[in-house]
Amino acid sequence: MASQTPISPARLLSKTSHVLPGALHVTELHFEVPLDHASPSGQKISLFARSARKDERPIVPFSATEKENKDKKPYIVYLEGGPGFGCSEPQDHSLTRHALDRGYQVLFLDYRGTGLSTRIDPRRVGAMGSPEEQARYLSMFRADSIVKDLEAVRLCLTSGWELELQTWSIFGQSFGGFVCLSYLSKYPQGLREVFMTGGLAPIKRTPEEVYLALYKKVIERNEAYYKKYPEDISNVKAVARHILTGGPGQRLPGGGYLTIDRLLGLGMSFGLHGGIDAVHSIILSLAMDLKQYNAFSTSTLMSLERQVPLDANPIYAFLHEPIYCAKPGDAANHAAFRAGQNFEQFSWLRPGIISVSEDHSPLYFSGEMIYPSYYSSYPELEHIKDAAQILAQKSDWPELYDEDQLRRNEVPVFAVSFVDDMYVDFEFARETARIVKGIQVSETNRLYHNALRARSDEIFAQLFKMRDEELD
């Protein structure tokens, strides 16, 4: 394994505990780590986490030794999808119940830049100096930095514990699985076991290869949408015509603009359980607004904004393509925008080419793609537009994965992979699984990408069955 940046323990700034309904003991933790772990004396950022364990009140009070041992239950750390999203509260996440029943305590850590950790505020970043300085700052929020934060927090929380308790388990959903693979590559000595759902990253593929594959699945999901809701062929076109005749774009309650790109960006939900129905609900509301008022209502537009919340989660926009820049030399260069123009179904990406005629040909929604136009239609993203362009052209990204280390892997890894995943190409996921030594993978065509939330009992049954059973 290539030499890695040495990690110092995070500094614990504060720790407060509360008991929630359901006998859940939650501790709120604030840490301090370097912005750049290679410069530990430089700028600092804060990390926020919540740990959860069962609140135990025995008939006979715990002795001091028993209390100390109770607090040393092995950790399982939840790694959220994204990039750019913080964790939900422990009482609201399906992992909590399943993990506590198996004897873990659970840590929900907000990645740097998200949740209650030091956040990325585009307005503040936009005032930091030149676009180049802003881009340098924003580049520090990828998985290569996240895994160093995780290792620093592990060293802090388990300091002084028995050696066998100092390693921890990690559980990555979607992008969280990408982080798992980076952690396995860089700091495997900190890991006891790894669980992943929909997170086998395409580690050997370029950004453009990734999107060329993903668009094909997005086309399939569009066809499923219009098969279920054929009336939306005309509804979507009616909404699009209204947008086009309204000039530069319909003003949204949050300050941005409803453009064709933003409308069709609703397809980002198509790969989720219930996603097709959620998009139909918004399209139906938009179409009914036009029939009744010849204008869109504020409540409908607010629903549309909430569906793709890039203003609230800007990392998802400017670091989405760079998560596929796995090694130095890779540059995103708006790969989703470029790849989409290879498909006739997405001809609306080409300048001046969009058909909203009243015929039976549907307008195709995009999927999990970020387009350059979003930096003009989302008001928060406008503040970092120039910096985001620099990041799109950046090619000197640090390495995210160490294939040699993954091929030598000794950490138990258990993954669920979705055949019809619209966000992580199934064949590329298989390609990655063949690299990771010892991985066990359950492949299913019965579940979609958000099954951890929508079908959690099935997911945990599959994962823990793999963990508990011995293979000959």
User: For residues 27 and 108, is the Cβ–Cβ distance under 8 A?
Assistant: no
Q: How open is the CA angle 116-88-423, to the nearest 5 degrees?
A: 105
Task: Tell me the catalytic residues.
Answer: 174, 421, 449
Counts for the chain of helices (H) and strands (E), in that order: 21, 11
**Cα(first)–Cα(last) distance of the chain, in Å?**
29
Sequence-separated (6 or more) residues with CB below 8 Å from residue 446: 458
- Structure tokens that stand for 198 in this block: 């929909």
Rounded to 5, what percent of the chain is helix, strand, coil?
A: 45, 15, 40
Torsion of CA 97, 422, 237, 309, to 10 degrees: 50
What is the spatial distance between Cα 179 and Cα 181, in angstroms, rounded to a whole number?
5
Question: Of 8, 120, 105, 121, which Cα lies nearest the Cα of 49?
Answer: 105
Task: List the structure tokens of 6.
Answer: 């040495």
**Closest to 430 (Cα-Cα) out of 214, 206, 200:** 200
Question: Which residue is listed with tokens 């509301």?
Answer: 285
341 near 217, Cβ under 8 Å? no
Residue pair 189/410 in contact by the 8 Å Cβ criterion = no
Contact 436, 418 (CB under 8 A): no
Q: How far apart are the C-alpha atoms of 379 and 85, rounded to whole Å?
A: 19
**Tokens 């580049």 correspond to what residue?**
139
How many whole angstroms separate alpha carbon 105 and alpha carbon 169?
Answer: 10
| Greatest CA separation for the chain | 76
Chain position carrying tokens 């559980």: 171
Judge if the upstream peptide bond of residue 230 is cis by omega within 30 degrees of 0: no
CB 37 within 8 Å of CB 47: no
